[in-house]
Amino acid sequence: MMPAKCSQFSHDDHLDLEDPGVETRLEALKQRLAAENTTLSLRWLLLPIFIVVLYLSTTPSWIQFTHLPFRRYHPITLSNLAPGASSSRQGLTVMSFNILAEIWGGDPRSFGKPNCADCQGEGCKPCDGRGTASGYSKPVRDRRLVKTILSNEFRPDIIMLQEAQLDTVEYIAQNAGYENAHFPSNGLDLWREWVHEEVAPMQHNGNAILIKKDSALKKVYHETIPVSIRDGYLVPNAKETHRLAVNVPVVVVEFGGKRVAIVNVHLEYGCRLSPLSIGWDHPGYRRRIQMHKIHKRLKEMMISQGEDRCDEVVIGGDFNDVSEFGTDHGGLKDIMTSEMRYINHVDVHGLQHLDTCANISRYSARLDHIFSTKGMESSMAYVPDEHYEHIWGWPFFGGVSNNWDRPFGSGAVNIYQMIDKYGSDHLPVVVKLHLKK
């Protein structure tokens, strides 16, 4: 018999073959080794199970399996390729863009990191133009946002900004040539727990509507629709100035002899999995009651004879329309087209398969839309296609899209590629609208 290695056994375990008890002790040792081996192989067996459970519990992609037979896929159409090639007929170009407010962290790569010592965040050679060691600083990102807005694909007459903070809106208005037409702040206590004052102090923030200065558009009226929610109920008679107010700006412009109301929304965020909730009250439900209130007010405006009257409505923004359990198909956008009779102009042009937003957990979704009433039609809709090829296998390689209108596992959009290219974790959405003849 091979002598056992000393290192594996305590002093007592040394085998003395003359010892009459050696058989018993040898047997005990064998049993102990066998037990240890079992534990070891159990651990190896549990490891993949653990990884699978982690995967399923942290990504909403598993839900896609359950809906697989109902998935629709829309091929890329011409209208996604060249916005300039579409109708040259005089139109109203409207853009929606969630610009990732700095007060909630801005570029996650630079969050909490000091600005570059050489350029103080302005962007220089040593920091590779980023302004911080790893991500974009606010000045660099602000410039990128302006560049996006002024690029040939966009140059809108009207911009609807979400997650906008005052100094960014002022910068964009000044440097891209827009008038800040209406920008009511949300209550300064709303979403305050997301603000790290030491990184970026709280300021006036929310949804802004900007009008291009050299356009012929004339603002004739504006108002604010507060859609604040408390304990799952809309706050009755909600005040725009309440410290928890959620405010929706409305601007009425004169266009082609009609009065068109521009409405910029950023609805309640989340699904049941985050945060965990039970009962009837969940973020998707909150988005619906917010939208119903907005819709009710707009219907009043459309039959009003007063200064608030309007003929047509354009609603755009970040609808956060994910389902109760996490896919991008919350059904609100369907309610808006079926019950409320709006037109989803990005859908009209067959671009449902393009995600508009991604997060650091590497999944992406389509949250940004532009709707109008039926008196308007669109000659163009454009969303940049930032889906990349290598896919499959979140969290290992690319990312997962939770867009029902994409084939399963067909690739996400990436948050950092989007910030680098456009300045935000959302992509801009733009449509060119016309009054129906």
Alpha-carbon span 357 to 317, nearest angstrom? 12
Query: Shortest Cβ distance from residue 134 to Zn ion (Å)?
Result: 12
Alpha-carbon span 260 to 312, nearest angstrom? 5
Query: Shortest Cβ distance from residue 120 to Zn ion (Å)?
Result: 8
* Choice from 36, 118, 334, 339 touching Zn ion (CB under 5 A): 118
Q: Is 170 exposed, middle or buried (0-12, 13-18, 19+ CB in 10 A)?
A: middle
Query: Shortest Cβ distance from residue 126 to Zn ion (Å)?
Result: 5
Nearest to 381 by CA among 370, 366, 367, 368: 370
Query: Shortest Cβ distance from residue 423 to Zn ion (Å)?
Result: 18
Provide the 10 A C-beta neighbour count for residue 411.
21
* Choice from 116, 210, 301, 322 touching Zn ion (CB under 5 A): 116
Residue keyed to tokens 């801009």: 428
Kind plus residue range of the DSSP H or E element containing 251: strand 247-255
- The structure tokens listed for 6 are 């000393």
Query: Shortest Cβ distance from residue 406 to Zn ion (Å)?
Result: 38
Alpha-carbon span 203 to 314, nearest angstrom? 28
Nearest to 251 by CA among 312, 168, 295, 300: 312
Provide the 10 A C-beta neighbour count for residue 107.
26
Of 118 and 300, nearer to Zn ion (C-beta) is: 118
Q: Using alpha carbons, list the distances in angstroms from residue 77 to 21, 145, 345, 385, 427.
A: 84, 26, 14, 11, 18
Of 137 and 373, nearer to Zn ion (C-beta) is: 137
Query: Shortest Cβ distance from residue 127 to Zn ion (Å)?
Result: 3
Of 123 and 156, nearer to Zn ion (C-beta) is: 123
Q: Does 235 bind Zn ion (CB under 5 A)?
A: no
* Choice from 4, 26, 29, 124 touching Zn ion (CB under 5 A): 124
Q: Does 127 bind Zn ion (CB under 5 A)?
A: yes
Site mask, Zn ion, residues 73-112, x = CB under 5 A?
----------------------------------------
Of 26 and 133, nearer to Zn ion (C-beta) is: 133
Enumerate residues 6+ apart whose C-beta is below 8 A from 138: 102, 106, 121, 131, 168, 200
Of 136 and 371, nearer to Zn ion (C-beta) is: 136
Query: Shortest Cβ distance from residue 106 to Zn ion (Å)?
Result: 16
- Which 8-state DSSP code applies to residue 139? H
Alpha-carbon span 396 to 417, nearest angstrom? 17
Length of the chain: 437
Q: Does 119 bind Zn ion (CB under 5 A)?
A: yes
Nearest to 414 by CA among 390, 398, 392: 398
Q: Does 301 bind Zn ion (CB under 5 A)?
A: no
Q: Which stretch binds Zn ion (CB under 5 A): 117-125, 208-216, 377-385, 424-432?
A: 117-125
Query: Shortest Cβ distance from residue 103 to Zn ion (Å)?
Result: 22
Q: Does 29 bind Zn ion (CB under 5 A)?
A: no
Q: Report cis status (omega within 30 of 0) of the bond before 395.
A: yes
Q: Which stretch binds Zn ion (CB under 5 A): 84-92, 121-129, 188-196, 309-317?
A: 121-129
Q: Using alpha carbons, list the distances in angstroms from residue 173 to 121, 136, 153, 179.
A: 21, 21, 18, 6
Nearest to 287 by CA among 323, 258, 338: 323
Of 124 and 244, nearer to Zn ion (C-beta) is: 124
Task: Determine phi and psi for 317, rounding to 5 degrees.
Answer: 140, -165
Query: Shortest Cβ distance from residue 107 to Zn ion (Å)?
Result: 15
Of 27 and 118, nearer to Zn ion (C-beta) is: 118
- Which 8-state DSSP code applies to residue 136? B
Q: Which stretch binds Zn ion (CB under 5 A): 66-74, 126-134, 153-161, 281-289?
A: 126-134
Of 83 and 123, nearer to Zn ion (C-beta) is: 123
Query: Shortest Cβ distance from residue 116 to Zn ion (Å)?
Result: 3
For Zn ion (CB under 5 A), the number of binding residues is 5
Query: Shortest Cβ distance from residue 117 to Zn ion (Å)?
Result: 8
Which residues of this protein are in contact with Zn ion, per CB under 5 A?
Answer: 116, 118-119, 124, 127
